[in-house]
Amino acid sequence: MTITGSKGKARDEGAVPSSVALEASGLGHAYKGREVLGSIDFAVRRGEFVCIVGPSGVGQTTLLRCLAGLQRSTRGQVLVKGTAITEPVRGVAVVFQDYSRSLMPWASVRDNVTLPLRANGTPKVEANRIAAESLAQVGLDEHVSDLYPWQLSGGMQQRVAIARALAYGPEVMLMDEPFASVDAQTRADLEDLVRRLQRDLELTVILVTHDIDEAVYLSDRVIALAGKPAHVSDIVDVPLGADRDQIGTKGTPEFAEIRAAVHGLIRRKDDAVS
């Protein structure tokens, strides 16, 4: 289980330390004596879009919870802008997979989006203004503000969850399979939305997914996880340029090549273990 190669690669690319937004260093986690995460090392640069991809049940959700500071890892550490974290820190927002459970059903869309602002001392008027701005950024109409989230479609609910994360004013946005519960067309729309937001707002996005196509399409780099316990199989650059579109980009030979490479990384390590 040597991962020095990928580790070295990640380090080399993020040569200037101050450009690293978030870093996992020797991160490992055991749950009830069973190792879920091996030793995970990677660094994500500021303004970078990185997808963490791996087969189901490989422990991505655990990894993401550790990165968010929601869970203490049993080994290693997570560093945000060079500082090791032990709990969620300002500047890191999370969008969860299950929008129907992560939004408060008793609060209006507006109150859901202003929650992180109000919690951190923003006055109500100002919070409402920022919420309206965030909702506009994710393409939601002003009039949904007064509705309950469950009165909206799945895709719109996930947009509300994204707006809530944006309202927090994050530098790093962590996303745990954010599009796994919506239909294909909505998924494509949301993928493009998140890519656009990431570029416009110069966000650092770390997105966990099982879908290799999605990972390659969205990312600047793909971190492939494999094995049990999960470890970084390799980190793959995705030089597909900044302007991508769902049909054109996915049809290029480069896309197919990277896709095959990532697929191989996940598969090979999986087979080797089982």
Residues in contact with other proteins by CB under 8 A are 65, 68-70, 87-90, 92-94, 96, 98, 101-102, 104-107, 115-116, 118-120, 148, 150-151, 168
Q: Which is nearer to other proteins, 119 or 273 (CB)?
A: 119
Q: Which is nearer to other proteins, 205 or 222 (CB)?
A: 205
The CA distance from 198 to 219, in Å, is 11
Beta carbon of residue 96, minimum distance to other proteins (angstroms, whole number) = 6
HEC profile for 44-88? EECCCEEEEECCCCCCHHHHHHHHHCCCCCCEEEEEECCEECCCC
The CA distance from 46 to 69, in Å, is 18
By three-state DSSP, how is residue 186 classified? helix
Beta carbon of residue 116, minimum distance to other proteins (angstroms, whole number) = 4
CB 123 within 8 A of CB 131: no
Q: Which is nearer to other proteins, 49 or 168 (CB)?
A: 168
Q: Which residue in the block uniquely carries the two structure tokens 């990277």?
A: 258
Beta carbon of residue 117, minimum distance to other proteins (angstroms, whole number) = 9
Q: Which is nearer to other proteins, 57 or 88 (CB)?
A: 88
Q: Which is nearer to other proteins, 102 or 219 (CB)?
A: 102
Which residues pair with residue 24 across a beta bridge? Answer: 42, 78
